Amino acid sequence: MSFTVSTAKVSIAPTLATNPHMGGYGLQAGARVASRSAPYREPLCARCVIIWDSGSPNAIISLDLLALPRSMHQAVRARLLPLAAWASSDIIIQVTHTHNGPTLEGMLDPFTAYALTDLTLVASYSAFVQNKIVEVVQTALKAAQTPVTLDYKLASARFAFNRARLPTTETSVPVLTARRSNGTARAVIFSYGCHPVSAGWQDLFDGDWPAGACSHVEASLSGCFALFLQGPCGDQDPTGVRGWALRDSHSTSIGSAVVSAARTAGRAVTGPIQSSYREVKLPLDITTTPANLAAVRACFVNRLSNPAGQPAWYQRHAQVMIKRIDSNQLETFVINPSQVWKLQGSPTLRIAMLGGELVSGYGAYFRNRYGGANGLLIGGYSGEVSCYVPADNFFPPFASGGSYEGGWDTDFPGIGGGSMTVYPHMAHFRKGVGGAEATLIANLNAQLV
């Protein structure tokens, strides 16, 4: 089997006229808008690497955005499928999860999270992003192909910490390098699991340290194209005092680690690339009997007066949930995609990308089963981001006092709280037998074996 690589990059940065609204941090009232349309360090980009496996294309697309809602993901995936002779499983679409990017329609919900009611510019910009995703893939498909070999090695980074005070912390920086015949890097795909919030709350569009790291790699390795894949970082935050200086420091830290790893070949990986794509229903902890729904509605009515002193988006979330109950628009599960690529080698390299804000415990669990980080590159934020994807240890009896990642609070623990108020969903996930964790693990194990 032989590999070639083609790449493309396009700007997805809005202007103040096309969409000034910034996403990433819940707002009490009003909107967070960019103070000027130019980015701080790097422009917001859509990047695409196509790995041609004996002539068959396999695309990885990375977007400097907070999240893609299901509606956008499904619409753009349908538009990409006719562009080449490939299956849906051959197309990975992921966001870097920058928190200083533009607001999109869908998730996070613009009303509950940001108090936005006029979504005219948000909707038009969301359509623009879909067009740009199609454009970057079309450009990459038509671009010149470079014959390459693929190799894989691990670097490390130490600036993530577990904000939920759990024992799992991300340190591995997987590096997949597409190398020309003379040994130089043509393209580098790298990953790390940490929230890209090093810059903190800003009023300029910016891709945070993932964008900065890509620029560092490309500036350091002549003729190399860099693409970042976000790891399982739902509970991983960066250390340090947030601001532009920290953002640049973390960009350099990751970028330098990747450059050092890519300068010399790692272990060889070969084709054929075997791919699979699934969607799984993660069950919410909700009972739809009339009596229970009446009790749930009463909890949301109580939350309208904000007796627990929660942020204002809890009240906006309650308004939306009451309307859903009254109109019988109920959900009992959240659909979450999972995608696996297998590349041959010793050991097999598995790339597993899941939707949602995957917490690091899943990364630790699956790495332990499939050869560690040397055998498995795993990440979240792929396809669509409909909510956090917590494990059972984010719920009682393991956790008390509420859990942002788990999506519950102590005021009314039986309804959606924490992160479920901004995405928004009516309930948190079910745990235990038949719950979200058990369902996700069984589904991904079936793909990884």
Q: Could you tell me the pLDDT band of residue 27, with boundaries at 50, 70 and 90? A: confident
- CA-closest candidate to residue 32, choices 20, 44, 43, 40: 20
Task: For the chain, give the mean pLDDT.
Answer: 97
Q: Any idea what DSSP says for residue 204?
A: B
**Mean pLDDT calculated for residue range 46-67:** 98
Cis before 307? omega within 30:
no
**Contact between 330 and 283 (Cβ < 8 Å):** no
Q: Rounded to an integer, what distance in angstroms lies between the CA atom of residue 149 and that of residue 183?
A: 9
Long-range own/partner contacts, residues 310-315 (CB < 8 A, 24 or more apart): 310/409, 310/411, 311/26, 311/28, 312/27, 312/28, 312/29, 312/115, 313/26, 313/27, 313/28, 313/112, 313/113, 313/115, 313/421, 313/422, 314/417, 314/421
**pTM value?**
0.97
**Contact between 404 and 377 (Cβ < 8 Å):** no
- List phi, psi (to 5°) of 91: -125, 110
**Mean pLDDT calculated for residue range 266-284:** 98
Q: Rounded to an integer, what distance in angstroms lies between the CA atom of residue 249 and that of residue 199?
A: 10
Q: Rounded to an integer, what distance in angstroms lies between the CA atom of residue 172 and that of residue 14?
A: 33
- List phi, psi (to 5°) of 258: -70, -45
The answer, yes or no, to whether residue 36 has pLDDT greater than 90, is no
**Contact between 344 and 3 (Cβ < 8 Å):** no
Phi-psi region of 345 (alpha: psi -120 to 50; beta: other; left: phi over 0): left
**Mean pLDDT calculated for residue range 300-319:** 96
- List phi, psi (to 5°) of 389: -120, 85
pLDDT in tens, 63-76: 999 999 999 999 99
Q: Could you tell me the pLDDT band of residue 323, with boundaries at 50, 70 and 90? A: very high
**Contact between 121 and 104 (Cβ < 8 Å):** no
Q: Could you tell me the pLDDT band of residue 364, with boundaries at 50, 70 and 90? A: very high
DSSP-based three-state secondary structure for 295: helix
pLDDT in tens, 395-418: 999 999 999 999 999 999 999 999
Tokens of 338: 């999972």
Q: Could you tell me the pLDDT band of residue 30, with boundaries at 50, 70 and 90? A: confident
Q: Could you tell me the pLDDT band of residue 107, with boundaries at 50, 70 and 90? A: confident
- The percent of residues in the chain predicted with pLDDT above 70, rounded, is 100
Q: Rounded to an integer, what distance in angstroms lies between the CA atom of residue 446 and that of residue 429?
A: 22
- Residue 154: in which H helix or E strand, if any? strand 146-156
The answer, yes or no, to whether residue 44 has pLDDT greater than 70, is yes
pLDDT in tens, 185-231: 999 999 999 999 999 999 999 999 999 999 999 999 999 999 999 99
Phi-psi region of 407 (alpha: psi -120 to 50; beta: other; left: phi over 0): left
**Mean pLDDT calculated for residue range 9-16:** 96
**Mean pLDDT calculated for residue range 118-122:** 96
Q: Could you tell me the pLDDT band of residue 164, with boundaries at 50, 70 and 90? A: very high
Q: Rounded to an integer, what distance in angstroms lies between the CA atom of residue 240 and that of residue 373?
A: 26
Please give the pLDDT value at position 1. Answer: 66
